Chain A
Amino acid sequence: DAGVTQSPTHLIKTRGQQVTLRCSPKSGHDTVSWYQQALGQGPQFIFQYYEEEERQRGNFPDRFSGHQFPNYSSELNVNALLLGDSALYLCASSMIGADTQYFGPGTRLTVL
């Protein structure tokens, strides 16, 4: 049974560019959350998707947007990249109504 998968593993972009990160949830899960983890910090909640709708959003600007597909996979898009967007981006999946979130390995984004 595959766990949460994310792609790509690493990504290097320059300021002003746009990036798309992808996530496939654990089998049987229908809810996907995205987190940003800066170096040496705890993960910070970006948003959560369920039934292809954004269910809750954290304190992140509109440059951060997402999408969930009918097969429950999800994308995180970041526009107009800033140096401060450099971080590990984590996807977590869960079942609706359940508290436990399972994390993927993350995508390391470096903005130069």
Chain B
Amino acid sequence: QQQVKQSPQSLIVQKGGISIINCAYENTAFDYFPWYQQFPGKGPALLIAIRPDVSEKKEGRFTISFNKSAKQFSLHIMDSQPGDSATYFCAASGNSNSGYALNFGKGTSLLVTP
């Protein structure tokens, strides 16, 4: 069962535009929500992460928006660049009671065109 649902499956954005990827979860025991970026043939690299006690976190061009009541969170990539073209995964994990495993979405393939 997919504990984290991610959309869209693929996304094409023009250079300079905003890329938005959405995720939803069901397990209210989740308390850590990271985003990973993965290039072909490489392992996932941590981009940015958030906890439910804040509604937004920004690091450079990357922003996570978090809606605890709706159990949804999203990644915004501002001023998207061709070098941002990669697959992005949202994930969620819990604690000693709910488990430490990262539960990943199915990924979003982002293409930023010049």
Contact = CB atoms under 8 A, between A and B. Distances in A.
Interface residues of B, number: 23
A99 B93 contact: yes
Contacts, number: 54
Contacts of A56: 99-101
Interface of B: 6, 32, 34, 36, 41-46, 49, 89, 91, 93, 99-107
Given A42-B89, A42-B106, A48 B101 contact: yes
Nearest to B101: A45
Nearest to B33: A99
Interface size class of chain A, counting residues whose CB lies under 8 Å from the partner chain? 20 to 34
A55 to B, nearest CB: 7
A44 B104 contact: yes
Contacts of A105: 41-43
23 contacts: A33-B101, A35-B102, A41-B106, A42-B89, A42-B106, A42-B107, A43-B104, A44-B104, A45-B102, A48-B100, A48-B101, A55-B100, A100-B34, A100-B46, A100-B49, A101-B102, A102-B46, A103-B44, A103-B45, A104-B43, A105-B41, A106-B42, A106-B43
B14 to A, nearest CB: 25
A48 B6 CA distance: 24
Contacts of A35: 102
A8 interface: no
Contacts of B45: 103
A90 interface: yes
Contacts of B41: 105
B104 A99 contact: no
Given A90-B44, A105-B41, 12 more contacts: A33-B102, A42-B105, A43-B104, A44-B104, A45-B102, A45-B103, A56-B100, A56-B101, A99-B32, A101-B34, A103-B43, A106-B42
A41 to B, nearest CB: 6
Contacts of B104: 42-44
B103 to A, nearest CB: 7
Contacts of B107: 40-42
A104 B46 CA distance: 11
